[in-house]
A and B are shown apart, each in its own frame.
Chain A
Amino acid sequence: MLRNDALTAFPRKPALAAALALLAGLLGSPAHAQSAADGQKLAFDRGKGNCLTCHVIKGGDLPGSIGPELKDIKAKYPDRNELVAIVSDEPKRNPQSVMPPFGRNRILTEQEINAIVDFLQTL
């Protein structure tokens, strides 16, 4: 992989992200399931994540092929912080990437990114 792990970004506000992650964990599964469902909506919404433009994702119609299929994500990225970093600013991790920096460019809020990451972890 081109990606240099040494360049892997930490979330922009690590403390807050960690707190949110902790909170999500503490809240237990019903809230988590709710958040994952919200995350799916945000990921599929053309005005929000619009992730289907580039990724095949289970349950989504008319996917593009610019990025890899999003599957087995939990196994591939056991550390959710890494997923937050990917969605927030993938070009920071891989300068060549065409994936938009959803967090840095304020396309999605931190809260929305967390919900999407909850969804990604169900894949």
Chain B
Amino acid sequence: MTQRFTILLGSVVAAFAALVAFSPRVVAADKVDPAADAKAFQNFFFQKFPRLKPEEFVNGPYSMNEDLKRQWQEKEEFPPYEFALDAGKEMFATPFKNGKTYADCFPNGGIGIRQNYPYFDTKEGKVITLELALNRCREANGEAPYSYVKDEMASLTAYMAFTSRGKPFDIKIPDDPRALEAFENGKRYFYTRRGQMNFSCASCHVQSPGERIRAEILAPALGILNAMPIYRSEWSGMGTTSRRFVTCNSQTRAVPLEPQSDEYRDVEYYLSYVSNGLPISGPGARP
């Protein structure tokens, strides 16, 4: 174990060295190179798990372990997210009080577009996630916004993900210094250690994927958002990307941020961009 761990740590150091080499600490905005970052990031995981095909990373902990994979395949026969999917489909088709629908707010009527979220809005200068876009759609049509973490929001995003299954993440970083800044900011948040336990997101999802933390198997950061939203037995229900971020922060005794805060949206932008090319697999089911 110690031996293996040393090797593992060694490769992490090498990957970090590669990351650093590819993206020198930002001095001027024109030095940020997200494409090189994404390449180094993906190569790190491909080398660490040489037996996995790229598209297999999108199943989170299930991609890391044969026994778990079998459990997952069994689960997919009677997926626990089915109720949310059905509810989401119905909600999506039901007009608001003003007669309009969600379809009116999105390109292609909202069908098969999950892989393009989040995007950077150059007018507003902000990252727009699917969850945020859904609540904005509601508010623009005179409806109250939903909670970002579960229930209706999870149902709607489950349905939208489902119509996009198999489509590769296609996150764009427009030629706008603010977009690069959002990417860098998300990356910084992801690698910064915080809280009493001194963990960064990367401590668990880059340094330790496939390892057990107590009984849970840690998902790799590559493809970590492709299956969102997810059903978790531990939650006895569905959770959105927002819910997972909040849970990871609070479980590690770090102060969670508000769902859809600037930092969380930037992290989502970063994590989605570095998973470009990997297929949407949501909604997902987890142990």
Interface residues of chain A, those whose CB is within 8 Å of chain B, are 1-2, 52-54, 62-69, 91, 96, 98, 100-101, 105-107
Question: Are A68 and B5 closer than 8 Å at their CB atoms?
Answer: yes
User: A80 CA to B208 CA in the complex, in Å?
Assistant: 28
Interface residues of A: mostly helix, strand, loop or mixed?
A: loop
Among B13, B199, B211, residue most surrounded by chain A Cβ atoms (within 10 Å)? B211
Residues of chain B with a CB closer than 8 A to A69's CB = 1
Interface residues of chain B, those whose CB is within 8 Å of chain A, are 1-2, 5-6, 9-10, 12-13, 196-199, 203-204, 207-208, 211-215
User: A65 CA to B2 CA in the complex, in Å?
Assistant: 11
Question: Are B211 and A68 closer than 8 Å at their CB atoms?
Answer: no
Question: Are A53 and B213 closer than 8 Å at their CB atoms?
Answer: yes
Interface residues of B: mostly helix, strand, loop or mixed?
A: mixed
Given A68-B2, A98-B207, A105-B196, A53 and B9 touching (CB < 8 A)? no
Contact for B6 among A2, A54, A65, A107, CB less than 8 A: A2
User: A67 CA to B215 CA in the complex, in Å?
Assistant: 14
User: A63 CA to B1 CA in the complex, in Å?
Assistant: 14
Residues of chain A with a CB closer than 8 A to B211's CB = 64-66
Residues of chain B with a CB closer than 8 A to A96's CB = 9, 12-13, 207
Question: Are A105 and B213 closer than 8 Å at their CB atoms?
Answer: no
User: A54 CA to B12 CA in the complex, in Å?
Assistant: 18
